Structure 1
């Protein structure tokens, strides 16, 4: 019954079914809002097993149902009728209407558009393309996971998926128009004791094709995908409208009209070519039977031309802004962008040799010499690499052809065959852990003297392939006593497995929350310091700076001597040598995620890990989870409760009867509260935190927490 664009409810809100048959929402501030708008009086309200919340009249007729008001998701038995819409959300944390809509149109087709466009075929970035389209069609989800379009009498006219998955109480299915504007089919396999394993069964657009979504990047910016990350970059000669919100788009960083028509007519411009670049047509002049050189020259001499498109001897001069820019290696269209010489970019992520065409064809001779020199260097380098690769390949006795080449070239790890891991795990007999997209099995390497290992098998390769490559790249480069050691991998067919050293004593989460006896205060302080040192290595000492992005107790493993080691780098983010921040989609675990992840287009830095460490530190102090719904109301959110106890001078409450050094406790709490600041700049570096934990420097009182610090 989630409704998009509703504000998030604060604690204390209640849904009431009144005696006059009305369903009302009472906020904690005393505001009352009607939820089910119906002229009939309801006698009974019921939540059905399907997830449909319904109201009945006195004759047991349904007069209102939540299934009739979908937001971004369809459940089994729910339908999206003619001219009804699913909206994407702003973010995983904010369910307000985002930038895209999926519409069941009156012509019988299901189409996805950017919201700011009109319902016009040229703005559709995905369509069902129903060959049997009929009016009054609807989108449906069947109990066996089949997604289909049906006509007005309920007969199926087009299957989007074949279905055929189990129909039982342990398998739940949903179709969601996700934050990134892609429709996906999810399966939730319910296990014992409330556990669940989620996987993606089908998606309208594959991960590597997400730039096909029109409007995912703003005007004058190009959509690019690097591994699992989607980024928006400006055209050369353009800057972000808002550097904190790169998805908004870009603007010219010079005023060409003043140069052209004013007293600066001698300003020198350059044409920067971008091959294989597509965008929405917006031409104002077309020259036929042109060459690329003539097109470049014509744009340079045209005061109104900033970008021209060259294809098939056609020179098409474009109006700004340019929308829906993306790269397509199979398309011959080349963008010719006019920029000032001093604005020539050095780091634009393109695999193209930069060819500069000067005004009126100057310096062509120099360009020719440069190209010839480059060709010779390229030939010699290629010959060396081919020779080196042949030598290297002869030394490897594995199925290297099926391994991810971009990963293997960057790190040195042992490559296992699938059969070797089947033998090592006794056909994956002993499961020791699982997550949303992976299972972990215990094994033994007979050839290494019976060394115990943990084998992580990524189950859902729609999402798992980027995680597999990311974890190999990141942890394969790290060497620190407080990071788990990655031994090797298996990439064979569709199987993706990672082989780690075995951590005999499980996770920190089990030690804190499930152990019969909590670890001593001194042990907990030692563990906190070990985790801090591991994170500091990732942030400052590693060859490539790393943001872990998922610091939590379940990702801290304990070895045989009870030393803490950070694990699970599948969501981590590598930073370039000179990079301090990045823009990426939200990732991590709710409750440990820093507030900036929930802010649209907000820059992410290593300070996101600092926030997560603060939450983890509070859990270590109190040996309880950050969110416990069964706790007294004022103690449900651990961070808020500790903050109130600190402010009121009642810190003894947070450790109960346990004997602890109160000065140490106050220091630990102050460190945690400094980590939990809403603004990243107010959080200290991990190096400073280590000095505070060691007592080398005095921990200053933290600023007050903002109201959204515990999000």
Structure 2
């Protein structure tokens, strides 16, 4: 089995599509003698994928496609005739041409009056051996989702395959890359929208210059996101979470091809990656329990980072839904498409500009706080008036901006990729854009504002008169209240949360200049407060992602009610309509992730034991010491912070779930970090506090080994790439999942100290290492009823109770069985690659 490819990329699920009058399947093959007619379908041998005609909901167009057979929401992974849909199915036929042996779709297209060939495999692969008898060729629907055309006389001779011609979706064993022999590229192209699979604006391709990167492109030329080069383990700009225990993405290059590939560890997992019509790569995992696709990962993370998402003259705002808007005086160019979240058509003017040789009567509307596009031209002008005049003199000028330093920039023929920022939200590229409007449209826009202004002026005068009657008393009351509030804030340092203004936190962080790190919901900055809470603090600035408000409320509601030495302290917060910030106590030693994996320091075994015990005590308090059971839902090294004494404190409660004492579990969407998720959560089942126990066990294994669980490990402190050499040297074979090997060593009675971080050079307590390994292995048992509570974990780590040798979890045994074969093949593939470079 060769290492083919899921690749990090794209799918569009045509949710809600229907296939009218689905007929009985005709096996898994199509030939000249056995074509597919009308609503007939071909189903892969094990019933995983189905080939046939489908129609996106409400479109009236029909396409030849492949979709998952047993998923109730029809999810199409490949489309043949994206450009030439059929108008109906009555005359449609998929067959092998008896003349040239190509696979072809015949039917009545929407632009024709008589049936004809609307799609064909057209050119047989130049890398394949020519068919011995073209008329006997056979198309086979395979269980990996690949439609292959093979030589009827030699089934091993693949003449053409759909994996060489992906549309917008990649599934496991598909690929993205370059065929070096033919010069052809396997490129993903987004669909136009949910009702139209025709090629859209965005594409994904490997770097044409030959590097291991892959790009997201707008209009086939403008790169707006890149994966970063292959480091030998991950793509530099992709999060570690993308490589996890469910699948692994990699890059392989041979003399014949270079590809982004993916290995699926568990064949029962159903996952797909899509280049969405909104320009983002999105990955989904199918959850059987909820019978739905769960979103897992996207790039770019911020939707407005997609280049020209809103088309010409459109404005992208991350704080609005939908994110695309038209400026004053403009309207969507294609209103129906905007309703389908296809904003690529952009906006058009409601009234034409007036420009003649005698001058122009046009004016300008100011759009403040804009992240300006980079397609402007510099014009010599010493003042704003000169800049405006220079734009009016050119009939092609659509907008201008003028900076205080004397810089004038104009836009000819339109602008795109404009982003709306907010007060204090922009960087050096934030400025006011002056958009050109016709005089009539400008008067209409300003007239509307003026009428509203007159109404508010009258109301303001009335209110001002009423307010004047009690001005003296009100001023005195405000002054007294302010003094009381400040006194209360000084006294509540150790008791409750402080409400800060945005200006206070901007000053405390020196305008957010020292960034400590960031995550899915925003960035964290260091600051110092001089009142209320006089100390160094860490300020998390939520940056307007879709779930930012929910995460903010969860974190405030959770941390505002609890205090524990092993839980990070929430000092206060800032909440306004535009800004959401959280203020925490500052942790000088950063996260456990940085301290353990990325620092040149090596924590002693004593320090690691203290961290294990501290985190266990913090979780035990959350589960059993609060009024309601709190499930953290995202325990991992990145969410464990260390103070100056290396005391661990659990942080980031944005996903936490409160479970009443009358309930034992809660159903939640899968948003945690794969690699730390309990099996029941991945399966979509309701979770309990035992999900945190599982995550804690995975963290303990990482504390023991000093490396990520998914790193390949040979027991010597090196990442092994040669199992034969390891075996010859008497070392254990490599595994990509440390708990597999550690649990096996425990069950076999081997010395537990051998699994400890080699950087410790044996300076460990063998008894403590064995106890920690046993605790970790009990925590990651498949069934939650077999896992201990966190209170029991604390007792075990303290040595109060004995810990028996745990069984190796079956899931780990299954992984261990498959990994050796899977990764020995990967080693051979990589060895061949190195020898050919």
Does 1:654 find its partner at 2:737?
A: no
Partners of 1:612 and 1:182 in 2: CA distance: 20
Cα-Cα RMSD: 4.5
Partners of 1:205 and 1:709 in 2: CA distance: 46
1:507 Cα deviation after fit: 1.0
The equivalent residue for 2:20 is: none
CA contact (8 A) 1:42 1:55 kept: no
Partners of 1:446 and 1:625 in 2: CA distance: 40
The equivalent residue for 1:679 is: 783
CA contact (8 A) 1:185 1:200 kept: no
The equivalent residue for 1:227 is: none
Secondary structure class of the residue paired with 2:531: helix
TM-score, with length taken from structure 1: 0.50
1:200 Cα deviation after fit: 11
The equivalent residue for 1:243 is: none
CA contact (8 A) 1:482 1:531 kept: yes
1:143 Cα deviation after fit: 7.0
Gaps of 5+ in 1: 8-16, 23-30, 68-76, 82-101, 105-109, 111-136, 145-161, 191-198, 207-391, 401-410
Equivalent residue in structure 1 for 2:676, among 578, 592, 598: 592
Does 1:140 find its partner at 2:196?
A: no
Partners of 2:589 and 2:320 in 1: CA distance: 39
The equivalent residue for 2:639 is: 555
1:205 Cα deviation after fit: 8.6
The equivalent residue for 2:224 is: 168
CA contact (8 A) 2:498 2:532 kept: no
The equivalent residue for 2:660 is: 576
The equivalent residue for 1:319 is: none
CA contact (8 A) 2:539 2:584 kept: yes
Partners of 1:636 and 1:139 in 2: CA distance: 38
Per-residue CA shift, 1:190-216, capped at 9, x if unaligned? 9xxxxxxxx99699899xxxxxxxxxx
Q: Give the number of aligned pairs.
A: 408
Partners of 2:498 and 2:527 in 1: CA distance: 16
The equivalent residue for 2:710 is: 627
TM-score, with length taken from structure 2: 0.43
Per-residue CA shift, 1:106-132, capped at 9, x if unaligned? xxxx6xxxxxxxxxxxxxxxxxxxxxx
The equivalent residue for 1:413 is: 497
Matches within 5 A, 1:63-142: 65=186, 67=188, 77-79=189-191, 104=195, 138=198, 140-142=200-202
Per-residue CA shift, 1:57-114, capped at 9, x if unaligned? 976567xx574xxxxxxxxx33369xxxxxxxxxxxxxxxxxxxx5x2xxxxx6xxxx
**In 2 relative to 1, CA 202–55 (structure 1 residues): closer, same or farther, beyond 3 Å?**
farther
1:444 Cα deviation after fit: 0.6
Q: Which of the two has higher C-alpha Rg?
A: 2
The equivalent residue for 2:148 is: 37
Partners of 2:619 and 2:705 in 1: CA distance: 21
Does 1:693 find its partner at 2:797?
A: yes
Per-residue CA shift, 1:119-177, capped at 9, x if unaligned? xxxxxxxxxxxxxxxxxx73624479xxxxxxxxxxxxxxxxx99x9953459941649
Secondary structure class of the residue paired with 2:810: coil
Secondary structure class of the residue paired with 1:497: strand
The equivalent residue for 1:445 is: 529
1:516 Cα deviation after fit: 2.1
Partners of 1:393 and 1:573 in 2: CA distance: 39
Partners of 1:612 and 1:177 in 2: CA distance: 22
1:543 Cα deviation after fit: 2.1
1:498 Cα deviation after fit: 0.3
The equivalent residue for 1:273 is: none
Per-residue CA shift, 1:432-460, capped at 9, x if unaligned? 01112210000010225751110001113
The equivalent residue for 1:53 is: 176
Equivalent residue in structure 2 for 1:640, among 740, 761, 781: 740
1:38 Cα deviation after fit: 3.7
CA contact (8 A) 1:595 1:709 kept: no
1:623 Cα deviation after fit: 1.4
Partners of 2:165 and 2:699 in 1: CA distance: 36
Between 176-185 and 429-438, report the one with greater CA deviation. Answer: 176-185
1:37 Cα deviation after fit: 1.6
1:588 Cα deviation after fit: 1.3
**In 2 relative to 1, CA 449–531 (structure 1 residues): closer, same or farther, beyond 3 Å?**
closer
1:185 Cα deviation after fit: 11
Partners of 1:574 and 1:445 in 2: CA distance: 31
**In 2 relative to 1, CA 396–618 (structure 1 residues): closer, same or farther, beyond 3 Å?**
farther
1:578 Cα deviation after fit: 1.7
Matches within 5 A, 1:386-401: none
The equivalent residue for 1:668 is: 772
Equivalent residue in structure 1 for 2:611, among 503, 524, 527: 527
**In 2 relative to 1, CA 481–177 (structure 1 residues): closer, same or farther, beyond 3 Å?**
closer
Gaps of 5+ in 2: 14-47, 50-67, 69-124, 131-141, 151-157, 205-217, 228-274, 286-291, 303-315, 324-476, 486-494, 714-718, 721-732, 816-837
**In 2 relative to 1, CA 708–674 (structure 1 residues): closer, same or farther, beyond 3 Å?**
same
CA contact (8 A) 1:555 1:568 kept: yes
Partners of 1:581 and 1:620 in 2: CA distance: 28
Per-residue CA shift, 1:462-511, capped at 9, x if unaligned? 11110010000001111111111001111122211100011111111122
The equivalent residue for 1:607 is: 690
Partners of 1:429 and 1:167 in 2: CA distance: 28
CA contact (8 A) 1:175 1:183 kept: no
CA contact (8 A) 2:187 2:203 kept: no
1:636 Cα deviation after fit: 1.8
**In 2 relative to 1, CA 36–561 (structure 1 residues): closer, same or farther, beyond 3 Å?**
same
Equivalent residue in structure 1 for 2:808, among 701, 704, 710: 704
The equivalent residue for 1:289 is: none
**In 2 relative to 1, CA 684–431 (structure 1 residues): closer, same or farther, beyond 3 Å?**
same
1:585 Cα deviation after fit: 1.1
Partners of 1:542 and 1:478 in 2: CA distance: 7
Per-residue CA shift, 1:650-708, capped at 9, x if unaligned? 43331244222222211111111100101000001111111111111111221331125
Partners of 1:176 and 1:703 in 2: CA distance: 37
Partners of 1:449 and 1:591 in 2: CA distance: 37
1:560 Cα deviation after fit: 1.5
CA contact (8 A) 2:296 2:670 kept: no
